[in-house]
Structure 1
Amino acid sequence: MRTDHTSKMVGTAWGLLILNTLGSAGAKTIVPLPRSLIQMVTMGALVAAFALALAANLRLRFRASSYVFLLTLLLVPSVISSAHLESGFGALFRCARLALFVATLWLLSRWWDGSFTFVRHHIRVYFVVLGSVAAGLVMSPGAAMPELYGGRLVGALWPLTPPQIGQYAAVIIGLTVLLLLGRRTDRASAAFVIVPSLVLLALTHTRTATLGLVVGLVLAIGSLVLTSSAARRFFTWTVVLATVAAVALGSLLQAWFLRGQTKENFSSLTGRAKVWDALLAAPRTTSEQLFGVGLGDKSFGGLPIDNSWLAVYNEQGLIGVVLVGTTIVVLGGVALLRPPSLQRACAIFLISYCAIASYTEAGLGDASPYLLHLALAAALLAAPAEAANLAPPDVPRRRVPRWARRAEVS
């Protein structure tokens, strides 16, 4: 009973971390939600996640994790740059949020043992989030696909942008496909998740999420090809179907991919390149180059940066870029050194997806879904705990009386 209760607390804490990273800015909802209320809910979720993780891990037992250690080091340039208040007092608030986020991951690392427990939590919670998007689409198609976003799907019940929805859909599709190949779920359950998620992904017209899903699955399934006949069959049929689709539906796929944009707009990545050039050309002091200007809203000149590496450079400087790059390299290196397994394949998918998305999405330097995806990869790559350490930390060891020990000796 105690173990089941602890598992529920851990799963709830993970779900609350996901709720915290949903954000407070996005499309207009059917029922207007004040941004202050949304921020109160998301921050309350983070505090509750920390409290639950602490209650489940009162003895403060952690698993050694280079990933969480590097995130802890990332706090140093974040605090140093934010202390100058160039980004206002909000920078210190974001530092406190990141510190609480990392502390919660440390507490939850106690249960990172290479199992699929957190994978299932990940899929279930994000599927519920996508369920709210689907419900908003049914309730008000106009609000869910507004002209402001070019008719792309947004969150009509909770303010979610098309890239967010595309990211959540792509991640749970990829993980579910891999669980199906590894026979960790049945076809009916997999279809229940994959089919509606694919529809929502298509309605978002999110190119980054689609590309990340395809490349991530290719790399992940490729790591299983030599050891799994199911992976080989899936890989072969996928290549055949993709070739047929490219020939038969080439024009439709091209139209979906371009989203009605001109070649000039497409080549500048929907205007992102102009913001990137301006950010790199802006004068900076030596301190700003090393530590950044402090945690902000991932924008420059009032426009979103939409690039994790440039956002980290702007807010946490070159030191932050080195730490984030080291994090990706370490996780990727550990994944490559592991023997072929389903856990390794899932981790490769998550790492490659985050690496691809980092080019057009920000989030690797602050509390975000991308850090949770990488935390899940770290949990999958963790070595299985020893049998002696698998017992709940709150269960005391059984004391053997002296007379019993004497009897055993005799």
Structure 2
Amino acid sequence: MEEQDRLATPKAVGIVWLLLGINTMGSAGAKTIFPLPRSVIQLVTMGSLVAAFALALALNTRLRIRPSAFVFLLTLLLVPSVIASLGIGPGGLFRCGRLALFVGTLWLLSCWWDGSLTFVRYHIRMYFGVLVTVVAGLVISPGAAMPELYGGRLVGALWPLTPPQIGQYTAVIIGLTVLLLVGRRIDRTSAAVVIVPCLVLLALTHTRTATVGLLAGLVLAICSLLLTSAAARRFFGWAVLVATVAAVGFASAVQAWFLRGQNKEYFTSLTGRAKVWDALLAAPRSGAEQFFGTGLGDKSFGGLPIDNSWLAVYNEQGLIGVTLVASVLLVLGAVALLRPPSLERACAIFLISYVVLSSYTEAGLGDASPYLLHLALAATLLATPAKATPLPAPALPRPRIPRWAREREVS
């Protein structure tokens, strides 16, 4: 009998994961080639979440769930969200319902979280399919895909995706595919088909956060494999060599790419984000607003995007929300550090590192978002397979005692 017993994952689970990804794509972004009303986009995104929950419920009719500190903490995050959203009306409560459906779907999927790479493949295929639509929009209308409104950066021309969104998807795909290549779970040709076009798209988005998150996440993930993987050591050596040559020979080009035509003062102020952050922190708040926040909103303050997960959570879910989000990251990080070296652990470290770094200039950790989906993927990788339930020992037949023996025993 095997020591561990992994529950077979139905193929439809991949569809549920895809629907969750569609829901987190958002409804605000660049102008598309074919105008899409905001109501239609919201119908698609919210409809995908409802469909994901319904399909997950159909696949898990027995409501089997596995204990998960990650999903439990997300469930607790609903408490300050609902309490604060009661005072802002239907919009905040609607967003709370969306978060509740998202967390409920994760609970239903948790019975298939077995520490394997199954969900990693779902993740890569899902976002690669999204990037195919980005490339299609670039081919159909280069002007709409790289508009002057975004400084000539790549956007979604068929579906309204912003440059940071595309940069995030490409960075996550590249990082996971590189780790699969290092772990010899994918051949070089298949890896090149994914990595090379994604690198081109990442360069066209000029997304600094995604680039830094990709590089830092890969360094930490591959370092976790150095003691147990010769392939990781070779890759790390070549990566250091290439990075050194690029830093010496192409320093001016790299600097120009990072500056994106901005002056150093604008660059150091994080493209004007710091002004919004200072205004948010200086705004007067009641005691209830400090602890529970002002309710789930559109992650903006004074009509401008907050672009910082921690400040967005503080604004909408208060200090309680910040504590719970920090607990999510600390729990996942601690579990990853305690696991023995493996490819699955390396992928989880990459995802956690990427989300932590991105949280400084991107919002989303307090609501249903791609960042929570990345962390959910890390949770699937860190889950331990369910132990097999031993079968009861078969009852042995009772030996028949001869009659003369029973009579002698009685006498």
1:285 — aligned with what?
Answer: 286
1:392 — aligned with what?
Answer: none
1:66 — aligned with what?
Answer: 69
Gaps of 5+ in 1: 390-396
* Identity %, equivalent residues: 77
Asked whether 1:16 is paired with 2:19, we answer yes
Summarize the alignment of residues 6-405 of structure 1 with structure 2, pairs less than 5 Å apart: 7-85=10-88, 88-388=89-389
Cα deviations by residue, 1:291-320 (Å, 9 ceiling, x for unpaired) = 000000000000000000000000000000
Instruction: State the distance in 2 between where 1:64 and 1:343 align.
Output: 19
Give 1:386 deviation, angstroms. 2.2
Instruction: State the distance in 1 between where 2:264 and 2:175 align.
Output: 30
CA distance 1:283–1:58, change in 2 (3 Å): same
Cα deviations by residue, 1:161-205 (Å, 9 ceiling, x for unpaired) = 000000000001000000011111111111111111110000000
1:394 — aligned with what?
Answer: none
Give 1:408 deviation, angstroms. 6.2
Highest CA radius of gyration, 1 or 2? Answer: 2
TM-score (norm 1): 0.94
What amino acid is aligned across from residue 13 of structure 1 in structure 2? V
Instruction: State the distance in 1 between where 2:93 and 2:137 align.
Output: 35
What amino acid is aligned across from residue 134 of structure 1 in structure 2? V
Instruction: State the distance in 2 between where 1:146 and 1:304 align.
Output: 20
Give 1:387 deviation, angstroms. 3.6
Give 1:407 deviation, angstroms. 7.8
Gaps of 5+ in 2: 1-6, 400-411
The count of corresponding residues between Structure 1 and Structure 2 is 393
SS of residue paired to 2:11: helix
SS of residue paired to 1:15: helix
Instruction: State the distance in 2 between where 1:151 and 1:249 align.
Output: 22
Instruction: State the distance in 2 between where 1:68 and 1:346 align.
Output: 19
Provide the aligned C-alpha RMSD in A: 1.6
Cα deviations by residue, 1:61-88 (Å, 9 ceiling, x for unpaired) = 1111100000000000000000111xx4
Instruction: State the distance in 1 between where 2:110 and 2:216 align.
Output: 28
What amino acid is aligned across from residue 328 of structure 1 in structure 2? L
Give 1:8 deviation, angstroms. 1.7
TM-score (norm 2): 0.93
SS of residue paired to 2:10: helix
Cα deviations by residue, 1:217-274 (Å, 9 ceiling, x for unpaired) = 0000000000000000000000001000111111000000000001111111000000
Give 1:384 deviation, angstroms. 1.5
Instruction: State the distance in 2 between where 1:387 and 1:198 align.
Output: 43
Instruction: State the distance in 1 between where 2:12 and 2:324 align.
Output: 31
Instruction: State the distance in 1 between where 2:377 and 2:29 align.
Output: 26
Give 1:388 deviation, angstroms. 4.4
